[in-house]
Amino acid sequence: MSNEVPASDRALLVSVRAGDKTAREALASRIGRSSYILALQLTGGSETARDIAQDSVLRFFQHLDRFDADRPINPWLYQIVRNRVRDLGRRNRLRRHESLDEWLEQGRPEAIDPLADPAAAAERNDLRRRLWQAISALTDGHREIIVLRDYHNLSYRGIAEVLSIPQGTVMSRLHAARTNLREIIEAEGETFPHQPTNRGPKR
Amino acid sequence: MSETPHQFDETLLSGYLDGELTQGDAQRVRLHLEECPDCRNATDELHKLREATMNSEFRVPDDTQWDETPRGAVSRFLHTFGWLIAGLWVVGIGAYLVWQIATGSESLQFEGMLGFGVLLAVGLIILSALIDRLKVRKNDPYRKVLK
């Protein structure tokens, strides 16, 4: 589960602290990608997300020596990203919200199921684009809690840590967000077929 | 006997989907779903939405986009050393001025003005930086991210 520290993260942290430059680059790459995707999902802008990811990587390393290696990295990292997004929002330098579907990777169904019907795969891709259009239309609070849980797979405890809210509030806010998302999609007459999971172990 | 839809706390459906409920609450939801088609349908829809979200992939720039090297030990040392030199220089100039005043040197006026101007400028810069630091320390949204 997400509250556990993945062995790879812990090993990277230990190596980085021991001065291993390769591990430092690997960790920078890993957190840069995660930061970028979350920033993109929260802001909708690729350029803004890139700036936020770079800044988050720097802040991450600046405070790394004070970070407890027994804790999972992601809640801490996502809190840095989220705070940076909010900072930019407060300074009105954030262009909200370009549609996220523009940045969606085209699905590669052949990697999931060699027998997958190309037409069905195209339909799924189209539905995903519509889904992220709907997520873009949510309020900031609803969008962030949905992406933290359903995309980044944070536990409720991790989400509570990132959003600085009580753990009990996470479930109610998440349910409200999902209900809202469902209503937006239903208002557009969309339905979502069951989809096989094509992502690896959750971060 | 299971709860009617009006009595049932629907937020539990999300907790059930996410596997975040206690055993008792999860069992309560299971019993309710067996008898409530509306909640069953809602749970099914939420499940599909969650799957579609988690199955999405985003284009990510290559690693060179964020390979800025974080400030290392050498950089931190030079930064600290630079400020140390600046601080010592300010103290030296100050001490020199005090000595000039104490000995009543003839060149006191020119050197005094020079020294006063430099000291004032550096003092203002330091004060400015200090104010920024205090402001950041007070409002730093990142301090909570540390353990």
Give residue-wise pLDDT tens across range B30-39: 999 999 999 9
Q: Mark whether A45 and A16 lie in a shared domain.
A: yes
* pLDDT above 50 for A1: no
On whether residue A198 sits in a domain, the answer given is no
- Residue B108 in tokens: 């006191």
Q: Do B20 and A155 touch (CB under 8 A)?
A: yes
Give residue-wise pLDDT tens across range A132-183: 889 989 999 999 999 999 999 999 999 999 999 998 899 999 999 999 999 9
Quote the mean pLDDT of chain A: 80
Q: Do A58 and B56 touch (CB under 8 A)?
A: no
DSSP lists the bridge partners of residue B58 as: A104
Nearest CA in chain A to B59: A105
Q: Mark whether A105 and A182 lie in a shared domain.
A: yes
* pLDDT above 60 for B1: no
Tell me if chain A has a CB within 8 Å of the CB of B70: yes
pLDDT of residue B98: 83
Q: What is the CATH number for A12?
A: 1.10.1740.10
Q: Which residues of A touch B59 (CB under 8 A)?
A: 103-105
Q: Mark whether A105 and A177 lie in a shared domain.
A: yes
Q: What residues of chain A, 141 to 180, have a C-beta less than 8 Å from chain B? A: 146-147, 149-151, 153, 155-156, 164, 171-172, 174-176, 178-179
Residue B40's pLDDT band (cuts 50, 70, 90): very high
Q: For helices A156-163 and A73-90, what crossing angle results, to 10°? A: 40
- Which comes out higher in pLDDT, residue B96 or A101? B96
Tell me if chain A has a CB within 8 Å of the CB of B139: no
The answer to whether ipTM exceeds 0.90 is no
Q: What is the CATH number for A162?
A: 1.10.10.10
- Between CA A87 and CA A155 the distance in angstroms is 25
Tell me if chain A has a CB within 8 Å of the CB of B144: yes
Q: Mark whether A39 and A115 lie in a shared domain.
A: no
Q: Do A71 and B53 touch (CB under 8 A)?
A: no
Total tally of structural domains belonging to chain A: 2
Q: Mark whether A183 and A104 lie in a shared domain.
A: yes
Ranking A4-8, A23-27, A62-66, A70-74 by mean pLDDT, the lowest is: A4-8
On whether residue A197 sits in a domain, the answer given is no
On whether residue A192 sits in a domain, the answer given is no
Q: Mark whether A75 and A125 lie in a shared domain.
A: no
pLDDT of residue A157: 94
Q: Mark whether A129 and A154 lie in a shared domain.
A: yes
Percent of chain A with pLDDT over 90: 33
pLDDT of residue B28: 93
User: Measured between CB atoms, which of B58, B61, B147 is closest to A105?
Assistant: B58
Boundary-marking domain end, from A90, A120, A155: A90
- Between CA B83 and CA B90 the distance in angstroms is 10
Q: Which residue do the tokens 């990777």 mark? A: A105
| Containing structural domain, residue A80 | 7-90
Residue A201's pLDDT band (cuts 50, 70, 90): very low
Q: Do A28 and B70 touch (CB under 8 A)?
A: yes
Q: Mark whether A67 and A104 lie in a shared domain.
A: no
What mean pLDDT do residues A47-67 have? 86
Q: Mark whether A17 and A82 lie in a shared domain.
A: yes
Cα torsion through A155, A157, A160, A163, rounded to 10: -50
Q: Mark whether A105 and A181 lie in a shared domain.
A: yes
pLDDT of residue B74: 58
- Between CA B147 and CA A15 the distance in angstroms is 20
Q: Which residues of A touch B68 (CB under 8 A)?
A: 54, 57-58
pLDDT of residue A88: 83
Q: Do B142 and A37 touch (CB under 8 A)?
A: no
Q: Mark whether A85 and A120 lie in a shared domain.
A: no
Q: Do B49 and A182 touch (CB under 8 A)?
A: yes
Q: Is the pTM of this model over 0.90?
A: no
Q: Do A80 and B145 touch (CB under 8 A)?
A: yes
Q: Which residues of A touch B70 (CB under 8 A)?
A: 28, 57-58, 60-62
Ranking A85-94, B2-11, B92-101 by mean pLDDT, the lowest is: B2-11
Pairs of CB atoms within 8 A across A/B: 152
Tell me if chain B has a CB within 8 Å of the CB of A187: no
- Between CA B48 and CA A53 the distance in angstroms is 30
pLDDT of residue B67: 54
Q: Do A146 and B53 touch (CB under 8 A)?
A: yes
Long-range CB pairs of A61-69 (<8 Å, 24+ gap) are A61/A24, A61/A28, A61/B70, A61/B71, A62/B70, A62/B71, A63/B142, A63/B145, A63/B146, A64/A13, A64/A16, A64/A17, A65/A17, A66/B146, A66/B147, A67/A13, A67/B146, A67/B147, A68/B147, A69/A5, A69/A10, A69/A13, A69/A14, A69/A17
On whether residue A21 sits in a domain, the answer given is yes
On whether residue A86 sits in a domain, the answer given is yes
On whether residue A2 sits in a domain, the answer given is no
pLDDT of residue A89: 77
Q: Which residues of A touch B45 (CB under 8 A)?
A: 182, 192
User: Which of A22-26, A40-44, B16-20, B90-94 reaches the highest mean pLDDT?
Assistant: B16-20
On whether residue A203 sits in a domain, the answer given is no
Q: Mark whether A16 and A49 lie in a shared domain.
A: yes
